[in-house]
Structure 1
Amino acid sequence: MALFVVYCKDKPGALETRMATRPTHLDYLNGAGLVKAAGPLLDDAGSPIGSMLIVEAEDRAAAQTFVDNDPYTLAGLFESVEIQGWRVGVGSIG
Protein backbone atom coordinates (compact mmCIF):
# COMPACT_ATOMS: atom_id res chain seq x y z
CA MET A 1 0.00 0.00 0.00
CA ALA A 2 1.13 3.53 -0.76
CA LEU A 3 0.08 6.98 0.43
CA PHE A 4 -1.23 9.68 -1.89
CA VAL A 5 -2.19 13.30 -1.38
CA VAL A 6 -5.30 14.28 -3.31
CA TYR A 7 -5.62 18.05 -3.83
CA CYS A 8 -8.92 19.22 -5.29
CA LYS A 9 -9.95 22.76 -6.17
CA ASP A 10 -13.65 23.57 -6.44
CA LYS A 11 -15.14 25.28 -9.46
CA PRO A 12 -15.89 28.95 -8.75
CA GLY A 13 -19.38 29.46 -7.38
CA ALA A 14 -19.85 25.78 -6.52
CA LEU A 15 -20.53 26.11 -2.79
CA GLU A 16 -24.17 25.05 -3.21
CA THR A 17 -23.07 21.86 -5.01
CA ARG A 18 -20.53 21.17 -2.26
CA MET A 19 -23.04 21.58 0.54
CA ALA A 20 -25.77 19.55 -1.19
CA THR A 21 -23.36 16.67 -1.86
CA ARG A 22 -21.48 16.79 1.44
CA PRO A 23 -23.43 14.08 3.36
CA THR A 24 -22.98 11.55 0.54
CA HIS A 25 -19.32 12.54 0.14
CA LEU A 26 -18.65 12.02 3.86
CA ASP A 27 -20.41 8.64 3.83
CA TYR A 28 -18.24 7.63 0.87
CA LEU A 29 -15.00 8.70 2.55
CA ASN A 30 -15.88 7.08 5.87
CA GLY A 31 -16.98 3.83 4.24
CA ALA A 32 -14.03 3.38 1.90
CA GLY A 33 -11.40 2.44 4.47
CA LEU A 34 -8.74 4.25 2.43
CA VAL A 35 -8.76 7.75 3.90
CA LYS A 36 -6.11 8.53 6.50
CA ALA A 37 -7.01 12.23 6.79
CA ALA A 38 -9.25 14.61 4.87
CA GLY A 39 -10.73 18.06 5.08
CA PRO A 40 -11.73 21.16 3.17
CA LEU A 41 -9.36 23.77 1.82
CA LEU A 42 -10.47 27.19 3.05
CA ASP A 43 -10.27 30.73 1.71
CA ASP A 44 -9.25 33.64 3.96
CA ALA A 45 -12.84 34.00 5.19
CA GLY A 46 -13.03 30.32 6.19
CA SER A 47 -15.28 29.19 3.33
CA PRO A 48 -14.51 25.85 1.63
CA ILE A 49 -12.84 26.13 -1.77
CA GLY A 50 -11.58 22.59 -2.25
CA SER A 51 -10.55 19.39 -0.53
CA MET A 52 -7.35 17.67 0.53
CA LEU A 53 -7.16 13.99 1.34
CA ILE A 54 -4.43 11.59 2.33
CA VAL A 55 -5.37 8.22 0.87
CA GLU A 56 -3.75 4.83 1.29
CA ALA A 57 -4.24 2.75 -1.84
CA GLU A 58 -2.64 -0.15 -3.66
CA ASP A 59 -1.28 2.17 -6.35
CA ARG A 60 -1.95 5.46 -8.12
CA ALA A 61 -4.57 3.85 -10.37
CA ALA A 62 -6.52 2.68 -7.29
CA ALA A 63 -6.30 6.18 -5.79
CA GLN A 64 -7.58 7.62 -9.08
CA THR A 65 -10.51 5.18 -9.14
CA PHE A 66 -11.35 6.16 -5.56
CA VAL A 67 -11.37 9.86 -6.51
CA ASP A 68 -13.32 9.22 -9.72
CA ASN A 69 -16.12 7.62 -7.68
CA ASP A 70 -16.27 10.32 -4.99
CA PRO A 71 -19.72 11.97 -4.95
CA TYR A 72 -18.03 15.39 -5.20
CA THR A 73 -16.33 14.30 -8.43
CA LEU A 74 -19.54 12.77 -9.78
CA ALA A 75 -21.42 16.01 -8.99
CA GLY A 76 -18.91 18.01 -11.04
CA LEU A 77 -17.69 20.04 -8.04
CA PHE A 78 -14.00 20.08 -8.86
CA GLU A 79 -12.23 22.39 -11.27
CA SER A 80 -9.01 20.41 -10.87
CA VAL A 81 -7.73 17.31 -9.08
CA GLU A 82 -4.10 16.36 -8.45
CA ILE A 83 -2.99 13.01 -7.06
CA GLN A 84 0.58 12.83 -5.86
CA GLY A 85 2.51 10.05 -4.16
CA TRP A 86 3.51 10.97 -0.63
CA ARG A 87 5.26 9.63 2.45
CA VAL A 88 5.32 10.73 6.07
CA GLY A 89 8.47 12.72 6.86
CA VAL A 90 7.55 14.09 10.27
CA GLY A 91 4.73 12.99 12.58
CA SER A 92 2.51 10.03 11.85
CA ILE A 93 -0.65 9.02 10.05
CA GLY A 94 -2.64 6.49 12.06
Structure 2
Amino acid sequence: MLFALICKDKPGHLQLRLDTRPDHVVFLNDLNARGALKFGGPFLDADGKPEGSLVVIEAADAAVAQAIADADPYAKAGLFESVQVRPWNWVFNNPASA
Protein backbone atom coordinates (compact mmCIF):
# COMPACT_ATOMS: atom_id res chain seq x y z
CA MET A 1 0.00 0.00 0.00
CA LEU A 2 1.28 3.48 -0.83
CA PHE A 3 1.38 6.41 1.58
CA ALA A 4 2.17 10.06 1.00
CA LEU A 5 4.15 11.74 3.77
CA ILE A 6 3.27 15.43 3.50
CA CYS A 7 5.59 17.43 5.72
CA LYS A 8 5.59 21.16 6.42
CA ASP A 9 8.75 22.74 7.85
CA LYS A 10 8.63 25.05 10.83
CA PRO A 11 9.16 28.65 9.65
CA GLY A 12 12.73 29.89 9.96
CA HIS A 13 14.28 26.40 10.16
CA LEU A 14 16.10 26.29 6.80
CA GLN A 15 19.50 25.91 8.48
CA LEU A 16 18.25 22.91 10.47
CA ARG A 17 17.08 21.34 7.19
CA LEU A 18 20.47 21.97 5.57
CA ASP A 19 22.38 20.63 8.58
CA THR A 20 20.24 17.48 8.77
CA ARG A 21 20.05 16.81 5.01
CA PRO A 22 23.00 14.36 4.82
CA ASP A 23 21.35 12.05 7.39
CA HIS A 24 17.97 12.47 5.66
CA VAL A 25 19.51 11.43 2.32
CA VAL A 26 21.07 8.32 3.91
CA PHE A 27 17.67 7.48 5.39
CA LEU A 28 15.92 7.83 2.02
CA ASN A 29 18.64 5.85 0.25
CA ASP A 30 18.08 3.04 2.76
CA LEU A 31 14.32 3.12 2.12
CA ASN A 32 15.05 3.01 -1.60
CA ALA A 33 17.40 0.04 -1.23
CA ARG A 34 14.61 -1.81 0.60
CA GLY A 35 12.12 -0.95 -2.16
CA ALA A 36 9.96 1.19 0.13
CA LEU A 37 10.71 4.62 -1.40
CA LYS A 38 8.72 5.42 -4.52
CA PHE A 39 9.70 9.09 -4.90
CA GLY A 40 10.23 12.23 -2.89
CA GLY A 41 11.45 15.78 -2.80
CA PRO A 42 11.03 19.17 -1.18
CA PHE A 43 8.23 21.67 -1.51
CA LEU A 44 9.67 25.07 -2.47
CA ASP A 45 8.75 28.57 -1.36
CA ALA A 46 8.45 31.59 -3.67
CA ASP A 47 12.24 32.04 -3.53
CA GLY A 48 12.90 28.42 -4.51
CA LYS A 49 14.03 27.41 -1.00
CA PRO A 50 12.77 24.18 0.58
CA GLU A 51 9.90 24.53 3.03
CA GLY A 52 8.60 20.98 3.37
CA SER A 53 8.70 17.52 1.86
CA LEU A 54 6.60 15.09 -0.12
CA VAL A 55 7.74 11.48 0.19
CA VAL A 56 5.76 8.55 -1.17
CA ILE A 57 6.50 5.17 0.35
CA GLU A 58 5.19 1.64 0.23
CA ALA A 59 4.28 0.21 3.63
CA ALA A 60 2.19 -2.67 4.96
CA ASP A 61 -0.23 -0.33 6.75
CA ALA A 62 -0.65 3.15 8.21
CA ALA A 63 1.16 2.25 11.44
CA VAL A 64 4.27 1.17 9.53
CA ALA A 65 4.08 4.30 7.36
CA GLN A 66 3.83 6.47 10.50
CA ALA A 67 6.83 4.69 12.02
CA ILE A 68 8.83 5.44 8.86
CA ALA A 69 7.77 9.09 8.99
CA ASP A 70 8.76 9.29 12.67
CA ALA A 71 12.18 7.76 11.93
CA ASP A 72 13.11 10.39 9.33
CA PRO A 73 16.09 12.42 10.60
CA TYR A 74 14.22 15.61 9.70
CA ALA A 75 11.36 14.57 12.00
CA LYS A 76 13.76 13.52 14.77
CA ALA A 77 15.54 16.89 14.53
CA GLY A 78 12.26 18.76 15.01
CA LEU A 79 12.19 20.31 11.53
CA PHE A 80 8.54 19.69 10.78
CA GLU A 81 5.64 21.83 11.92
CA SER A 82 3.26 19.12 10.71
CA VAL A 83 3.34 15.69 9.10
CA GLN A 84 0.39 14.02 7.41
CA VAL A 85 0.55 10.32 6.56
CA ARG A 86 -2.09 9.67 3.92
CA PRO A 87 -2.95 6.54 1.92
CA TRP A 88 -2.29 7.30 -1.73
CA ASN A 89 -3.20 5.73 -5.06
CA TRP A 90 -0.69 6.23 -7.88
CA VAL A 91 -2.96 6.26 -10.95
CA PHE A 92 -1.19 8.22 -13.71
CA ASN A 93 2.38 7.62 -14.93
CA ASN A 94 2.96 4.84 -12.43
CA PRO A 95 5.93 2.89 -13.80
CA ALA A 96 4.69 -0.26 -12.04
CA SER A 97 1.56 -0.31 -14.18
CA ALA A 98 3.32 0.24 -17.49
Q: Same fold (TM over 0.5)?
A: yes
Aligned partner letter, 2:5? V
Could you list the runs of 5+ residues in structure 2 that have no partner in the other structure? none
Identity of aligned residues (%): 46
RMSD (Å) for aligned C-alpha atoms: 0.9
Partner of 1:20: 19
- 1:49 partnered with 2:51: yes
Structure 1 position 35, deviation (Å): 1.0
Alignment of 1:49-68 (within 5 A): 49-68=51-70
Partner of 1:69: 71
Distance 2:71 2:10 in 1: 18
Runs of 4+ in 1 over 2 A off after TM superposition: none
Aligned residues: 93
Distance 1:92 1:69 in 2: 26
* Alpha-carbon distance change, 89 to 26 in structure 1, aligned in 2, over 3 angstroms: same
Distance 1:78 1:66 in 2: 14
Distance 2:65 2:95 in 1: 17
Partner of 1:40: 42
Could you list the runs of 5+ residues in structure 1 that have no partner in the other structure? none
Partner of 2:7: 8
TM-score, normalised to structure 1's length? 0.95
* Alpha-carbon distance change, 90 to 28 in structure 1, aligned in 2, over 3 angstroms: same
Structure 1 position 93, deviation (Å): 4.4
Partner of 1:84: 86
* Alpha-carbon distance change, 79 to 87 in structure 1, aligned in 2, over 3 angstroms: same
